[in-house]
Structure 1
Amino acid sequence: MSGATQRQRRYAQLGILLGPVSLFLAIFFLCPLAIMMIYSVLTPGLYGGAEWAFYPDNFGRILGFANPEFEVFDPVYLSIFLRSLRIALTTVAITLVVCYPAAFQVSRLPDRWKTFALFLITLPFFASLIVRLFVWVLILKKTGFANMVLQSLGIISEPADLIYTEGAIILGMVYIFIPFMFLPVYASVEKLDWSLVRASQDLGANGFQTFWRVIFPLTLPGVIGGSIIVFIPALGNFIVPAVLGGAKVMMLGNLIEQQFLSARNWPFGAALAMLVMAAVLFILFFYIRLEGRRGDDAPALR
């Protein structure tokens, strides 16, 4: 069998394997995304919905170039966007700080305990997300467990407002997304070549130098992958802010839901969703470029 025939056969097999998945994504992801892009530049209807006329001021309401005849730039939308970015990045940072050392501890366990530890980390997935969030409501409310403990220890004299705050949202986000950060980081730590670490120590490197120049670069793919997996759903999440933030802390996901369901301003809601998608695509593009550079530098290092 010639090389060209083998390549054709390989491409045919690849097409058969990827064809159904590609068709599914085209129908249920790309088509809705295209519809959302079209709606984001349509004119809001007088009684809801949209009118089929070009109207870029949906983005101008957020970014500041709205036509004052029809729309007014309101900085509150930009502040909600920046708040959502801050909360998502804070969630990424906290989950990474918690999961990075934990991944090393779990990787050094015996195999049977390692499997049990991984089971415990994924155990929250067996319960409904809504149920888990309402448990946090019971813990954080004024008559909840957290206030009872703080008062009994004498730290506070009267119940504190722990719920319906930005801190409660970050706590809920971290609680939900810890497994999403842990698993990619653990996969990188598990593949770590400890002979390189020992070689670094033999050559006189101290603990910090060994970590920064050997361990961290080798585990960086897991750190970046976990950060992206956490950041993307955290940025557009609306369940956690709705339950733990109430009406006091508005995030992008809640604002988009409000525009589609309550205000019925579908074009503006679509524009907000496109901004979230743009932020996600920017992060993914940055990740792809970074991985490409790592791949280009790898032969030189070898």
Structure 2
Amino acid sequence: MTRSRARALLLTPAGLWYAAMLLMPLAVVLIFSFGERSQIGGYAPGFTLEQYANLPARFAAFRNTLTLAPLGTLASLLIAYPLAYYLAVKVSPKWKTMLLVLVIVPFWTSILIRSYAWIFLLGGKGIPALLAMAGLEDVRLLNTPFAVLVGIVYGYLPLMVFPIYVALEKLDKRLLEAAADLGTPPWRAFVQITLPLSMPGVLTGSMLVFILLMGEFLIPSILGGGKVFFVGNALVDLFLQSRNWPFGSAVAVGLVVVMLVVVGLYTRAAKRFGVGRDDAALM
């Protein structure tokens, strides 16, 4: 058997799975987006661009998603990087495993339960009550973009920590020792050595969090109280409530296009910072 035939034979199962589980559903959504809503809801065959012309009607959902998803990714990064750096560089090996387990512990419970816990913390008897005791009255946190941002950071922080931790764990400590021997200040060694070498983990973690946030609907629904809509919430409403499948499909196609643009930018940045196959495997 030639090498090309062997490669094709090995790739056939994965290719069939990819076509059945990704390409075919996307093709169905694309076809639905050009159709019309039937009188009883759902899909009626047709070919029209009316659904795409109505996309501005869901501008608020796209605006909230494209605002809070990058902010949530950035906030997660700012919190995760020091934590990952501490775990990878400062912690002794005997404590490292236990601390890594503690980072994973929140994933042992449902995101639904954890989000409901934040309802109490951000509600009138939680943090606002403590602020009122300090003299700051009538502070409203729940059902706001801030509450959604807090839930996002809390829910997705571990996904940002681990890729950065893996990148920092592979860092050659001798480079930092050599920089110290040459009299380089710690902050400059971090900027010139640690940060550039950890960029593959930063990019991978940011992409993991951002892509998942683009389709998020549970956290905005619970902590946003129906006042902070993401595209995911709009899709749930269009497919399950109003049963406007063609318009929902058009919204989904618009979301996929945005995500393809982001993935394209990630690919360019990954090449710039030299993300190799081992780093790409984290995706």
Q: Same fold (TM over 0.5)?
A: yes
Q: 1:172-191 residue pairs with structure 2 within 5 A?
A: 172-191=151-170
Query: 3-state SS of the aligned residue for 1:51?
Result: coil
Aligned amino acid, residue 137 of structure 2: S
Partner of 1:117: 99
Higher relative contact order (CA 8 A, sep 6+): 2
Letter of the structure 1 residue corresponding to residue 155 of structure 2: I
Residue 239 (structure 1) aligned with residue 218 (structure 2) = yes
Q: CA deviation at 1:178?
A: 0.1
**Helix, strand or coil: the match of 2:44?**
strand
**Hey, what's the Cα distance between the residues in 2 that align with 1:111 and 1:19?**
43
Q: In structure 1, how many angstroms separate the alpha carbons of the residues matched to 2:105 and 2:5?
A: 43
Which of 137, 140, 156 is the matching residue for 1:157?
Answer: 137
Equivalent position of 1:255 in the other structure: 234
Aligned-partner residue type, residue 11 of structure 1: R
The residue correspondences of 1:100-139 to structure 2 (distance < 5 A) are: 100-107=81-88, 108-139=90-121
2:145 corresponds in structure 1 to 166
Query: What one-letter code is carried by the residue in structure 1 that aligns with 2:136?
Result: I
Aligned equivalents of 1:253, 1:162: Cα separation in 2: 22
**Structure 2 counterpart SS, 1:42:** coil
Q: CA deviation at 1:226?
A: 0.3
User: Which aligned pairs between 1:1-302 and structure 2 lie closer than 5 A?
Assistant: 7=3, 11=7, 15-16=9-10, 19-62=12-55, 74=57, 77-107=58-88, 108-142=90-124, 144-152=125-133, 154-158=134-138, 160-203=139-182, 205-295=184-274
User: Residue 199 of structure 1: SS of its match in structure 2?
Assistant: helix
Provide TM-score, normalisation by structure 2: 0.88
Structure 1 gaps of 5+ residues are 63-72, 297-302
Separation in 1 of the partners of 2:186 and 2:95?
27
Q: Secondary structure at the match of 1:157?
A: coil
Distance 1:200 1:9 in 2: 51
Deviation at 1:209, TM superposition (A): 3.4
CA distance in structure 2 between the partners assigned to 1:170 and 1:32 by the alignment: 31
Alpha-carbon deviations, 1:184-241, whole Å to 9, x = none?
Answer: 0111111112222333444554444332322211000100000000001112200001
Which blocks of at least 5 consecutive residues in structure 2 are unaligned? Answer: 276-283
Matching residue of 2:279: none
Distance change >3 Å, CA 46–CA 293, structure 1 → 2: same
1:35-84 residue CA offsets vs partner (Å, 9 max, x unmatched):
1111112122233222211112212222xxxxxxxxxx54xx22321221
Q: Indicate the percent of aligned positions where both proteins have the same amino acid.
A: 33
CA distance in 2, matches of 1:287, 1:93: 15
Alpha-carbon distance, 1:129 to partner = 1.3
* TM-score (norm: length of structure 1): 0.83
Q: Which amino acid aligns with 1:134?
A: Y
Cα deviation digits, residues 71-111 of structure 1 (max 9, x gap): xx54xx22321221110001011110001011111112122
Secondary structure of the residue aligned to 1:31 is: helix
The letter of the residue matching 1:254 is N
Q: Distance in 1 between the 2:84 and 2:273 partners? A: 23
Alpha-carbon distance change, 56 to 202 in structure 1, aligned in 2, over 3 angstroms: farther
